[in-house]
Amino acid sequence: MRSIADAPVGIELWFDFASPYAYLSVMRIEEAAARRGLAVAWKPFLLGPIFSAQGWESSPFVLQKQKGAYVWKDLARQCRKHGLPWRQPSAFPRGSVLPARVALWGGGAPWVAEFCRQAMRLNFAEDRDIDTVEAVGGVLAALGLDADAAIAQACAEAHKPLLRRQTEAARAQGIFGAPTFMVRSKMFWGNDRLEDALDFAAGLAAPGPARA
The enclosing domain of 126 has a CATH number of 3.40.30.10
**pLDDT tens column, 95-146:** 999 999 999 999 999 999 999 999 999 999 999 999 999 999 999 999 999 9
Residue 79 placed within a domain: yes
Residue 212 placed within a domain: no
Residue 211 placed within a domain: no
| 3-state secondary structure (DSSP) of residue 3 | coil
What pLDDT was estimated at residue 6?
47
Model confidence at 212: pLDDT above 60? no
Model confidence at 2: pLDDT above 60? no
Q: Global pTM?
A: 0.91
- Mean confidence (pLDDT) of the chain: 92
Model confidence at 36: pLDDT above 60? yes
Residue 127 placed within a domain: yes
**pLDDT tens column, 57-92:** 778 786 788 988 999 999 999 999 999 999 999 999
Model confidence at 9: pLDDT above 80? no
What pLDDT was estimated at residue 4?
43
Model confidence at 199: pLDDT above 70? yes
What pLDDT was estimated at residue 5?
47
For 51, the domain range is 4-205
Of residues 3, 19, 25, 90, which has the active-site annotation?
19
Model confidence at 208: pLDDT above 70? no
Read off the pLDDT of each residue in 16-37 and give the average, rounded to a whole number. Answer: 97
Alpha carbon 193 to chain centroid, angstroms: 14
Residue among 200, 190, 26, 14 nearest 124 (CA): 26
d(CA 167, CA 181): 15
What pLDDT was estimated at residue 63?
72
**pLDDT tens column, 133-187:** 999 999 999 999 999 999 999 999 999 899 999 999 999 999 999 999 999 999 9
**Domain total for the chain?**
1
d(CA 46, CA 16): 6
To the query of whether residue 58 is one of the catalytic residues in this protein, the response is: no
d(CA 133, CA 120): 15
Interhelix angle 20-35/112-124, rounded to 10 degrees, is 140
Residue 210 placed within a domain: no
What pLDDT was estimated at residue 206?
76
